[in-house]
Structure 1
Amino acid sequence: MRTVLVTGGLGFIGSNFILHWVKNHPQDRVINYDLLTYAGNPTNVSSVHNLPQYRYVLGDIADSPLLEKVMLEEMVDTVVHFAAESHVDRSIKDPSVFVRTNVLGTQYLLEAAMKCGINRFIHISTDEVYGSLGREGFFTELSPISPNSPYSASKAGSDLMARAYYETYGLPVIITRCSNNYGPHQYPEKMIPKIITNALQNQPIPVYGDGQNVRDWLHVVDHCSAIERVIDSGQPGQVYNIGGNNECTNLQVVSEILRYLGKPDSLIQFVADRLGHDRRYAIDASKIRDELGWIPKYSFHEGMAQTVDWYVEHVEWWRRLIVDVPKRSNGEGDGGEKNK
């Protein structure tokens, strides 16, 4: 039996991970540590809220005394660190919040984990730390770190801090870097839910630049299963890339969703490009496939249909949240974590 501390467990990927873990590891205890910021939603984990093996703690990852208290009292042995500020547009407007949460917050969490003798620390990161690719090639775990936005720079900083705690102190840290996630419970400011919700309301769908920026899309359930495999079999000190093998331009994603919903292309509205907008991301996930035996199960078409259906069926869920969404953001940039 394990006790798993999940930071950011009320957000998009964190909540999906908790549901996945409780379903597949009912003997384990799960502590959900989340500050409940704008992108967190308690209803995401309502189905496990009353289970005896689940506990929610309202807390900031920069609160060292509370972190240590929770880890010691609950006898935590595994930390899965999702908590992060993750929206690129917001990072461009105010980088300081991202530095505080993603870099300093991660350092506080690493320090608490070291003091409390944590056996496994999984640091969830993003392919955006690698920067931008040309038309050919893929990011591997050996690709240089070259972030281009305040968000990705803050995630790169947290990655390097996690690596330092492994190399310097021997904390058993494993870093995962995922491609863009999509699926149920994603906050409406992100690209795919924004496309879906705008289309359902017959509102213009903003597309940055020429719409030819390329991303690799990973269904959140596939991401959760990959993290599960890393927890069980990953090697401390290693980095594992997690990708969905679903490269699409932003314009292709918009068109796919509009076709599925029976909405016209006239809803597409091209807007001025984002500052520092990376042209292409693509993940080489052969390491996690060859060493840990993980492969994604969702094709893009299957996963997208399931995701669109979820938003169609949960209109009240996203309508309550949508008032906070920046009007012109197309929401791109949801790698690890990204995680709200």
Structure 2
Amino acid sequence: MNLDIYKNKKVFVTGHTGFKGSWLCLWLQELGAEVVGYSLPADELSHFNLLKLPMKSYFENINDQTMLTKAIKESKADIVFHLAAQALVRDSYDDPMTTYETNVLGSLKVYWASMQAGVQNLVSITTDKVYENREWQKGYKEEDTLGGYDPYSSSKACVELMTDSFRRSFLSDHKMRLATARAGNVIGGGDWAKDRLIPDLVRNASIGKVTPIRNPQSVRPWQHVLEPLHGYLMLGQKLLEGKTEFCTSFNFGPELEDVATVDKMCELAKNNWDKINAKFVEDTQKKHEAGLLKLDITKAKEVLNWKPMLDSLKATALTINWYKNYYQNQKISSGENLKDFMALS
């Protein structure tokens, strides 16, 4: 896993206080990068706060164009990783305005500020939910039709369309290389977001409660957080090397045969921590969520030479053991998880 190109590089990460953002900053610092973050303040209980990373942080709103541009200019970034987002499907129903403002306009402002600051490389993170979901058994490919039933999915599809327009309109000379990454359902230690399966299971297990579960037969491309981050870093590496053919979109997810139902993930979680208990209940809110979602990762494997390292069994074990260590021993095992993962190839 050779990512030496990041050593001594200046890297600007939006959304760095979030679950994936904090793991990305940890990895970048392990690689010897100088990392600057821009995000809203972290929740009191968060992976970011637990890590206590020695880095410069701007705790600001992504839609504050003046502050955002100032921060990116001051960072003198070699590359920007844009992860800041309103990332919860159910919250997008409750507050669609903020969802679109953050995800679409926020992304546009990051692109514009980066271009104005002279940044040459930008990796923008969207989601596996950008595709028009037809409940296909096959995985969605990067060229498949974009769409989105719920406001969150729709907003991220809008980001993909906006990115393509921005690239054609302003970056035809490749002064800034811009790529997008679409990742599946991510699990891993340090996520406490509401209405996410693993966080709900471990949070309730820690206080002896049963977790009510909606839609047990829903299928998702579950993967450990380090899997897509590895893909983001590999994609960023290609941009840093000046390879403009990578200014496109890439899916990052598990192998098609390794997708799992919600029911199966609950079973795997309980196998690693017997305090976990789930009860399947009727979804009274009836807010639409896709029942079947798979990603085709052929492009990332063949073009980027990326591949998933952990199957769902290993990914779940690594995740649940992180939480067990935290709740039972007050131990943060993120650094160990990262080093073990980096040693896989």
Cα distance change on mapping 1:66 and 1:40 into 2, 3 Å: farther
In 1, Cα distance between the equivalents of 2:177 and 2:49?
A: 32
Match of 1:180 among 180, 185, 204: 185
In 2, Cα distance between the equivalents of 1:215 and 1:133?
A: 14
Query: 1:9 is matched with which residue?
Result: 16
* Corresponding position: 1:160 with 2:161: yes
Counterpart secondary structure, 2:247: coil
Cα distance change on mapping 1:21 and 1:297 into 2, 3 Å: same
Cα distance change on mapping 1:78 and 1:314 into 2, 3 Å: same
* Corresponding position: 1:199 with 2:200: no
Query: 1:100 is matched with which residue?
Result: 101
Match of 2:287 among 262, 268, 275: 275
Matches within 5 A, 1:1-340: 1-24=8-31, 26=32, 28-36=33-41, 38=43, 42-46=48-52, 48-49=53-54, 54-170=55-171, 171-189=176-194, 190-209=196-215, 211-233=216-238, 235-245=245-255, 246-263=258-275, 267-272=278-283, 274-315=286-327
Contact 2:93–2:150, Cα closer than 8 Å, also in 1: yes
In 1, Cα distance between the equivalents of 2:323 and 2:15?
A: 22
Counterpart secondary structure, 1:155: helix
Counterpart secondary structure, 1:280: coil
Counterpart of 1:242 in structure 2: which amino acid? F
TM-score when normalising by structure 1: 0.85
Contact 1:80–1:124, Cα closer than 8 Å, also in 2: yes
Cα distance change on mapping 1:116 and 1:236 into 2, 3 Å: farther
Contact 2:46–2:191, Cα closer than 8 Å, also in 1: no
Query: 2:4 is matched with which residue?
Result: none
Contact 1:85–1:102, Cα closer than 8 Å, also in 2: yes
Per the TM alignment, residue 197 of structure 1 is displaced from its structure 2 partner at its CA by 2.1
Counterpart secondary structure, 1:5: strand
Query: 1:326 is matched with which residue?
Result: none
Per the TM alignment, residue 283 of structure 1 is displaced from its structure 2 partner at its CA by 0.9
In 2, Cα distance between the equivalents of 1:141 and 1:120?
A: 21
Counterpart of 1:193 in structure 2: which amino acid? P
Query: 1:328 is matched with which residue?
Result: none
- What whole-Å deviation, never above 9, does each CA across 1:45-78 have from its counterpart, x for those lacking one? 41x32xxxx3212122111111221222221121
In 2, Cα distance between the equivalents of 1:195 and 1:69?
A: 41
Structure 1, unaligned stretches of length 5 or more?
319-340
Cα RMSD (Å): 2.1
In 2, Cα distance between the equivalents of 1:181 and 1:264?
A: 19
Counterpart secondary structure, 1:154: helix
Contact 1:204–1:269, Cα closer than 8 Å, also in 2: no
In 1, Cα distance between the equivalents of 2:232 and 2:28?
A: 10
Cα distance change on mapping 1:285 and 1:224 into 2, 3 Å: same
In 2, Cα distance between the equivalents of 1:88 and 1:316?
A: 31
Q: Percent identity?
A: 24
Contact 1:141–1:239, Cα closer than 8 Å, also in 2: yes
Query: 2:335 is matched with which residue?
Result: none
Structure 2, unaligned stretches of length 5 or more?
1-7, 240-244, 331-345
Counterpart of 1:215 in structure 2: which amino acid? R
Cα distance change on mapping 1:313 and 1:228 into 2, 3 Å: same
In 1, Cα distance between the equivalents of 2:89 and 2:62?
A: 21
In 1, Cα distance between the equivalents of 2:220 and 2:134?
A: 10
- What whole-Å deviation, never above 9, does each CA across 1:167-193 have from its counterpart, x for those lacking one? 110042101000000001112412111
Cα distance change on mapping 1:23 and 1:107 into 2, 3 Å: same
In 2, Cα distance between the equivalents of 1:58 and 1:263?
A: 37
- What whole-Å deviation, never above 9, does each CA across 1:267-320 have from its counterpart, x for those lacking one? 4131216412201111111111111111111121111111111112222999xx
Per the TM alignment, residue 133 of structure 1 is displaced from its structure 2 partner at its CA by 4.1
- What whole-Å deviation, never above 9, does each CA across 1:245-267 have from its counterpart, x for those lacking one? 231111111122123322586x4
- What whole-Å deviation, never above 9, does each CA across 1:125-176 have from its counterpart, x for those lacking one? 1011114243521111011102111111111112222222111100421010
Per the TM alignment, residue 94 of structure 1 is displaced from its structure 2 partner at its CA by 1.4
TM-score when normalising by structure 2: 0.84
**Range with greater deviation from structure 2 (6-15 or 132-141):** 132-141
